[in-house]
Amino acid sequence: MNTAARPFEDQIDVSTQYIRDSIRDAIVDRRLAPGTKLSETDVSALFKVSRTLVRGALQALSYEGLVNVEKNRGAFVAYPSPEEARQIFATRRMIEPGILREAAKNMGPSYFERLRQLLTEEGRLMGERGQTARRAEIKASGDFHLMLASMTGNAVMERFMDELVARSSLVIALYGQSAISSCGHQEHQDIVALIECGDLDRACHLMIHHIDHIEKDLDMRENKGSDLKEAFKL
């Protein structure tokens, strides 16, 4: 699942794709802080490839909204503004009910089994402590929504959700409070239960409420103390 962080990197086909995935994982996992400069030279040295491939990867990431490239200045890990964050969650509220209804059409026993498996894993992670566990929890939380998207069997929509979830993870990592809302997991379970009951209207309603809940739990004041200069650049 994790495309980066494999051993024996030298033996692996190091391509633009690989670099892109590695950087994306690092951003979503918050190993790369928002605003960090991604120097072409540095990255190319790190992966032992030419700048050509790195530029391709950075450009691709900018299309996904995870990296901002500024002409003649370089690429930076995205530092989504509160407004941008709001738009991301607003977009999710607009499309996820549709995804839920579409996925429900294809729901068979095996799909419910996969969902339950994911929820079990998610619950297990919530019991743990530490930063690593928290990262895994954020990731698992996103995976639930991604799995629903994949169950639509619609690749176009799935790609949109990939992007939205990745950007959401970045936003949560940025503006998330230390006190994690533990109700997210419960809401996931409730949504699955409602789908299983066939009560899609209430499931959709809860989904919107759930996304709203995630957003409301963020502390989206401008400039969280540190990178003041970022706010005034450009």
Binding site for a copy of itself (CB under 8 A): 56, 59-60, 63, 65, 84, 87-88, 90-91, 93-95, 97-99, 101-102, 152, 154-157, 160, 164, 167
Residue 40 CB, shortest distance to DNA, in Å, is: 4
The one of DNA, a copy of itself, none whose footprint includes residue 45, by CB under 5 to 8 A per kind, is: none
Toward DNA, which CB reaches closer, 6 or 216? 6
- Rounded-to-10 torsion of CA 87, 89, 93, 99: 110
**What residues have CB less than 8 Å from 173, skipping those under 6 apart?**
28, 30, 34, 138
- Tell me which residue has tokens 């095996």: 110
Toward DNA, which CB reaches closer, 75 or 115? 75
DSSP, collapsed to helix, strand or coil, labels residue 1 as: coil
- 227 is an interface residue for DNA by CB under 7 A: no
Q: How many helices and strands in the chain, by DSSP H and E?
A: 10, 3
Distance from C-alpha of 123 to C-alpha of 182, rounded to nearest angstrom = 10
Nearest CA among 29, 4, 22, 76 for reference residue 170: 29
Per-residue tokens: 127: 């019991």
Residue 211 CB, shortest distance to a copy of itself, in Å, is: 12
Nearest CA among 205, 193, 201, 207 for reference residue 149: 207
- 2 is an interface residue for DNA by CB under 7 A: no
Site string (28-57) toward DNA, x via CB under 7 A: ---------xxxxx-------xxxxx-x--
The one of DNA, a copy of itself, none whose footprint includes residue 53, by CB under 5 to 8 A per kind, is: DNA
Toward DNA, which CB reaches closer, 50 or 223? 50
The one of DNA, a copy of itself, none whose footprint includes residue 73, by CB under 5 to 8 A per kind, is: DNA
The one of DNA, a copy of itself, none whose footprint includes residue 232, by CB under 5 to 8 A per kind, is: none
Toward a copy of itself, which CB reaches closer, 90 or 193? 90
Task: Supply φ then ψ for residue 70, to 5 degrees.
Answer: -110, 130
Distance from C-alpha of 78 to C-alpha of 68, rounded to nearest angstrom = 5
Query: Interface residues with DNA (CB under 7 A)?
Result: 15-16, 37-41, 49-53, 55, 69, 71-75
